Structure 1
Amino acid sequence: MTQPLNVVAEPRDISTGVRQPDTIAEGLADVLADTYMLTYKTHAYHWNVEGPLFYSIHNLTEGQYEDMFAAADELAERIRAVGQMAPMAMRDIRDRSVVDDSPEKISAGDMCKALAADHERIAHRLHALITIAGDSNDPVTEDLATARSAFHEQAAWMLKALVVE
């Protein structure tokens, strides 16, 4: 008999009609990695922003990192729902992500520009995932990716609106 604390998670065959679940899971894992990296970056900017727009940027970034933190769980659970394993090592998160690390000193305006660019990169990855999910008979992932893309597109727009040049 297996002891309850000795059970190790592993991929499972989930037969819901989704084709290419490993490809779907890879795309979701990439977006999960981006989400985690951008959550931290956004939170760090939230802590360290200064200047006349402090309150606006502080509050905007708080809403964004809270949304992304919740989304990370949804993305990971979708990976498991298609029968695959969610990433477990931080190196996997770093290696998969397209989110650039932040310099130690950065202006409020450059924070907004950097975050907007990261949101745009993630939206592009989500658009690709929407296509893959549609081709793989996976409307659930397609819907999830569409909703996440809408969030990132709106976040990019709002951040760019703060730094109109």
Structure 2
Amino acid sequence: MSDIQTKTAPRMKINIGISEKNRKAIADELSKVLADSYMLYLKTHNYHWNVTGELFHSLHEQFEHQYTELADAIDEIAERIRALGYRAPGTFKEFHQLTSIEEDTEEPEALEMVRRLALGNEQVLRTAREALKPANEAEDEATIDLLTERLKVHSKTAWMLRSHLE
């Protein structure tokens, strides 16, 4: 084995203007946002596949738009955690431990799917608001921007879903 293969580079210290304590607090909260977003993604994708009834076409398309947007968001959230210097959770076990969104144990009807997705989006909103606290304290504009976008998207999505139920 050559010297290149046996040696590892020293770990570079992160110096982005945010203390390690604050980066850890932000990464911990973002991990919860990531877990909730991933669980909502799974639920939305499941409903996209399994919705039936007279609302099938419109809900099938709406759910596809929502899970596609969530897939992009999940990547951004994970990359922000990495940029802060921490490992992004990425296993079902980790997501299950971190999420506040429950998995379905049965197959709901179309409007119940809509209701559950509205509730899931509202939960992501609450989780993201909690994550804003350490980001604001640390003046971490990049995380604040990411979370503000998530608040905007999930607020609109929850409203659109609730509108089906009125």
Give the match for residue 86 of structure 1: 88
Residues 87-109 of structure 1 show CA distances to partners (whole Å, capped at 9, x for unaligned) of: 13320111101111113221111
Deviation for aligned residue 1:3: 3.2
Counterpart residue identity of residue 54, structure 2 = P
* Count of residues paired in the alignment: 160
Q: Which runs of 5+ in 2 are unaligned?
A: none
Q: 11-20 or 74-83: which moved more?
A: 11-20
Of all paired residues, the percent bearing the same amino acid is: 37
The answer to whether residue 37 in structure 2 is matched with residue 55 in structure 1 is: no
The answer to whether residue 73 in structure 2 is matched with residue 103 in structure 1 is: no
Residues 110-131 of structure 1 show CA distances to partners (whole Å, capped at 9, x for unaligned) of: 1000010010011011112122
Give the match for residue 16 of structure 2: 16
Q: Within 5 A, what are the aligned runs for 1:1-165? A: 1=3, 3=5, 13-19=13-19, 20-164=22-166
Which of the two has higher C-alpha Rg? 2
Conservation of the 8 A alpha-carbon contact between 1:13 and 1:83:
no
Deviation for aligned residue 1:16: 1.0
Q: Which runs of 5+ in 1 are unaligned?
A: none
State the secondary structure of the residue aligned to 1:100.
Answer: coil
Q: TM-score, normalised by structure 2?
A: 0.90
For the aligned residue pairs, the C-alpha RMSD in angstroms reads: 1.8
State the alpha-carbon separation in 2 of the partners of residues 15 and 95 from structure 1.
30
